[in-house]
Amino acid sequence: MNLNPKYYEFDKYEIQIDLLETMQEIETYDAETRQKELLKCAISFPYFCHKYVKINHPKRGMIPFVLYKYQRRCVEDYETYRFNILPKFRQGGFTTTTAVWAAWRCLFRFYETIIFLSPSHQQSVVVEKMIQRIISELPSWMKSEIEQSNRQKTFPKTDSKLYLFTPECTIGTSVTYWTSVTYLIVDEAAFVPEMDKCWKTLYPTVSPTDGNCICISTINDVENWFSGMLDHAREKNNSFHVIESDYHKRPEFDTEEWAKQTRAILGEKAWQQEYSYKSPVMNSCESEKNSPQWDKTTATGMDQEQTPRTTPFIQELNREIEHHNA
């Protein structure tokens, strides 16, 4: 496995992982070790993925989910900003990262209500099956009592819930009566049929005090809700923080040869759309960024409504784990 520091980095918990440890050994940890493991997982999403989650790589089969650097940054932004919008490149692992992160929040944070909206039944089933498998492969002491139906995963230990929705779920259901969704996640938002209608139904369910939204999508060249929101976000006309993505950050895509081949197969228009899209707004931002008066604080997309949130929960856990290690 190529662990080039250009693409990977590890936190202080991940570097302690014993790669030779078997699942059976992990399953039989004593009570104190379990407690420490739960704390580490609660503090570090990358550690949880690295040690406890396997993903299905198209060429290498089942492998530990070692996050790429850009996937770490992406999750850091999810944790920092209340409203995130992510124009993605194809096959960047954004669905995987975001869905696993949603499940992790339900496992390790109290009172989460997360909606993960996919554009179609087929895409929702893929996410559902992945989450189901990942949960079923966790050690028994970590996953106890999680109830899994097709559309809903319930985590009694944390009183959290993960709902896997398609646009149809938002029509004629009681969704509008919910008032405390903590995360509304929309995957491939530019491809959700009638996304503006879905948004009007779902957005009012987001908790006004601690609710958050994440909208991810590859670019769809027809004008749509996502492209409108994205352009407004780039112009700082709404509260969304833009998470930019770049296919060079994924090692398999970072070669001239891959880019040349893929470009030739897809054709220029599809290539631009799937891997190399720049909106007119982004182009103008780029030229501004290169000029000397570019202000770094605006480059982060931070505004008064969107100052980074403090995480007392994490600070508390950090103190506990340091106390344990002492």
Q: Considering only residues 6, 12, 57, 309, which one is a binding residue for ligand ADP as defined by CB under 6 A?
A: 57
Interatomic CA distance for residues 6 and 277, integer angstroms: 23
What Rg, from alpha-carbon coordinates, does the chain have?
20
Residue with tokens 């190399």: 276
DSSP 140-195: HHHHTT-EE-SSEEEETTTTEEEEEE-GGGGSSSGGGG---BSEEEETTGGGSTTH
CB of 96 to ligand ADP, least distance (A): 3
68 binds ligand ADP (CB under 6 A): yes
The two tokens of residue 63 are: 């492998």
Rounded-to-integer distance, Cα 73 and Cα 83, Å? 15
* Binding-site member from 41, 43, 53, 55 for ligand ADP (CB under 6 A): 55
Site of tokens 């696993």: 100
Q: Which of 56, 152, 261, 315 binds ligand ADP (CB under 6 A)?
A: 56
By beta-carbon proximity to ligand ADP, the closer residue of 94 and 205 is 94
Residue 53 as a binder of ligand ADP (CB under 6 A): the answer is no
- The binder of 238, among ligand ADP, Mg ion, none, by C-beta within 5 to 8 A per type, is none
Question: Is there a contact between 74 and 80 (Cβ–Cβ < 8 Å)?
Answer: no
Closer Cβ to ligand ADP, 3 or 264, answer by number: 3
Q: Select the binding partner of residue 57 from ligand ADP, Mg ion, none (C-beta < 5 to 8 A, by kind).
A: ligand ADP
Q: Does 44 bind Mg ion (CB under 5 A)?
A: no
Contacts with ligand ADP: how many residues (CB under 6 A)? Answer: 16
DSSP 301: T
Q: Which does 91 bind (CB under 5 to 8 A by kind): ligand ADP, Mg ion, none?
A: ligand ADP
Among 35, 80, 91, 276, binds ligand ADP (CB under 6 A): 91
Binding to ligand ADP by CB under 6 A, coded x per residue (else -) over 93-132, reads xxxx------------------------------------
167 binds, among Mg ion, ligand ADP, none (CB under 5 to 8 A by kind): none
56 binds, among Mg ion, ligand ADP, none (CB under 5 to 8 A by kind): ligand ADP
Q: Which long-range contacts (CB under 8 A, 24 or more apart) does 153-158 make?
A: 153/103, 153/106, 155/106, 155/107, 157/107, 158/106, 158/107, 158/108, 158/109, 158/110, 158/111, 158/112
CA dist., res. 226 & res. 196, Å (int): 9
- Answer with the entry of Mg ion, ligand ADP, none that 301 interacts with (C-beta below 5 to 8 A by kind): none
Interface segment toward ligand ADP; rule CB under 6 A; list 18-26, 49-57, 131-139, 148-156: 49-57
CB-nearest residue to ligand ADP: 93
Considering only residues 86 to 125 of the shown chain, the ones binding Mg ion according to CB under 5 A are 95
Q: How far is the CB of 102 from ligand ADP (least distance, A)?
A: 13
- In the complex, the smallest distance separating the C-beta of residue 98 from ligand ADP, rounded to whole angstroms, is 8
**DSSP assignment of 50-77:** HHH-EEEETTTEEEE----HHHHHHHHH
CA distances (Å), origin 207, targets 107, 123, 242: 20, 26, 21
Rounded to whole angstroms, the Cα distance separating 13 from 15 reads 6
Q: How far is the CB of 258 from ligand ADP (least distance, A)?
A: 14
In the complex, which residues of this chain contact Mg ion (CB under 5 A)?
Answer: 95
Chain residues in the site for ligand ADP (CB under 6 A) = 55-58, 66-68, 71, 88, 90-96
